[in-house]
Amino acid sequence: MLIKNEVRFMSENKNLGTYNQRDIDGSIQGNAGKSIHKNSGDIILRDPQEAYKTGIGPYTVEDYYALRGERRVELIDGWIYDMANPGFTHQRIYFLVAMQLENCIREHAKDCVMIPDFGIRLDRDDKTMVEPDIVVLCDSSSLNNRYYDGAPDLAVEVLSPSTRAYDLLRKRYKYQNAGVREYWVIDPQKQEVLVFDFAGGTEDKPEIYPFGGKIAVRISEGICEIDTAEFPEVVRMVEG
C-alpha cells in the first residue's frame, strides 16, 4: 500500500540521468521582459511564461471560481494564470499515467485515491488554487466536493510548451513548500520524466528517466510503477 508517513528513497536506477539545473532554468530563458498580461473583465490574467515573477497578487479563490466556468485558470499567490487547453500528446500521456495509478491504487492502496484535474488549495488560504493534471491523496479528511485542502501526496504534471516554465519553476517550488511528498514532471519534448522526491530529501536533484521504461512511485515504496513504454509512440503520432 502507499505509505503515508515514512518514505524511503528508492535506490534503483540512479544512473538513468544526471539532473542539471540549467535544464530547468533554460526553459524560461527568452521569456523575460515580454508584456503578456491579458485583460478579462476586471481581472488581469498572467501567462504561465511569467512564472519567474514573484510577489503576492490581489486575487482570491473567489476570483478563481468567477473565471473557472469560462476558461482554464489557476491561482498562485494571488495571481491568476491563463492555462492553455492541452493537446493530444498531453492528454494521451496523462490518460496512460492516470490509468496505471488507478489500477495500482485499487489493488494495493484502497485508502488512497487518484483524482485528475481537481482543485487543490495548497496553502489552505484564499490566495492559491491549483489544478494538477493528476494527484494522489491518502488523507480524505481534507477532501470536499469542490477541492482538496492542503498538499497531495503525489502531484503529476505533463508539460505543454505554454506551461513549461510554470510547471518546472513556480509550481515545483509551491508544491515543495506546501508539503507535497512527490512531484513528477513528464516532458514530452525531451521524452523524459523528472521525479522530485521531496519527502526523501532530494528536492533539488530529481531522478531523470528517459521514456520507455518503468518508474517506481516512491510514496508506494516501489509497489506501484508507471510503464512509459507507450510514451515515445504517443509523441511520434503527432510529430511524425
In-domain check, residue 61: no
- Lateral strand order in the sheet of 79-82: 38-40, 43-46, 79-82, 73-76
Supply the CATH number for residue 155's domain.
Answer: 3.90.1570.10
Task: Kindly report the pTM of this predicted structure.
Answer: 0.82
In-domain check, residue 201: yes
Query: Could you tell me how many residues make up the chain?
Result: 240
* Residue 95 CB neighbour total at 10 angstroms: 14
129 pLDDT exceeds 90? yes
In-domain check, residue 75: no
Contact by Cβ (8 Å): 216, 225: yes
Q: Greater confidence, 121 or 16?
A: 121
39-91 tens-digit pLDDT: 445 788 888 877 666 688 999 999 999 998 888 999 999 999 999 889 999 99
Q: Greater confidence, 222 or 61?
A: 61
Distance CA 57, CA 70 (A): 21
Kindly state the average pLDDT of the residues 83-107.
Answer: 95
In-domain check, residue 215: yes
In-domain check, residue 126: yes
In-domain check, residue 98: yes
In-domain check, residue 92: yes
Distance CA 83, CA 206 (A): 25
Domain containing 222 equals 21-30+85-239
Residue 240, pLDDT score: 62
157-197 tens-digit pLDDT: 999 988 888 999 899 999 999 999 999 999 999 999 999 99
The mean of the pLDDT values for the chain is 83
Distance CA 195, CA 217 (A): 9
* 135: CB partners within 8 A, 6+ apart: 114, 115, 116, 118, 120, 148, 152, 153, 154, 155, 156
- The full DSSP string for 28-42 is GTT-TT----EEETT
In-domain check, residue 6: no
The domain total for the chain is 1
Q: Greater confidence, 33 or 206?
A: 206
Q: Which three cell numbers stand for residue 185?
A: 514532471
* Least confident span in 16-20, 102-106, 110-114, 219-223: 16-20
1-43 tens-digit pLDDT: 454 433 322 233 333 334 344 444 443 333 322 223 444 457 8
Residue 44, pLDDT score: 81
Residue 115, pLDDT score: 96
Contact by Cβ (8 Å): 151, 17: no
